[in-house]
Amino acid sequence: MNSTRHEQFREYVSARGPALLRAAVRLAGDRAEAEDLLQAALAKTYLAWDRIGDRAALDGYVRRAMVNTQISWWRRRKLEIYPTDQLPELPVDDHTRRSEMHDALGRALRRLPERQRLAVILRYYEDMPEAEVAEVLGVSVGTVKSTVSRAMARLRDDAVLVDDFA
């Protein structure tokens, strides 16, 4: 049974890994951190594999594990990160073939504070209702609404077209 479990998990990761990595990159804002985030979420998923009865819900389980892990990491780093008036130089991704608009949006999302970025990604990229975003982030629905509103205003100030989100 253990080899069957292992093979099922391997097939799942092979099939869904790229999509899950894209979600992790959006959550983490950095590819290296996203890979760590996905790996941590997949480890949790593997340990819970036998308890997950609905295999159609696996993506949701992994995404939830990524969000919870990201929040946990964010809380731990909260005291280590200090705001500054100057933004650091952003690394250039030489091997990307994304459009200029997609790149601009990615840069703008990375400039958002962690909670705003998570709220926008969950609300619009993952298409979660506000109540579900509030539950995942552990805040009220009103906090989600105001956080997303402030994030969208900041994105507009950065001259990023956000019409595709709405």
Percent of the residues in the chain that have a pLDDT greater than 90, as a whole number: 35
Based on the fold, state whether residues 74 and 106 are members of the same structural domain. Answer: no
**Same domain? 106 vs 153:** yes
CATH number of the domain residue 117 falls in? 1.10.10.10
* Amino acid code (one letter) for 77: R
Contacts of 156 (CB under 8 A, 6+ apart): 162
Interval 17-43 mean pLDDT = 91
Q: Please name the residue ranges forming H helices in 30-88.
A: 31-47, 58-77
Domain match, 7 and 74 both: yes
3-state helix, strand, coil in the chain (%, to 5): 70, 0, 30
Question: Are the beta carbons of 16 and 59 closer than 8 angstroms?
Answer: yes
Q: What angle do CA 40, 77, 72 make, to 5 degrees?
A: 40
Give the structural domain span for 47.
1-78
Pair 3, 66 in one domain: yes
| pTM of the predicted structure, to 2 decimals | 0.49
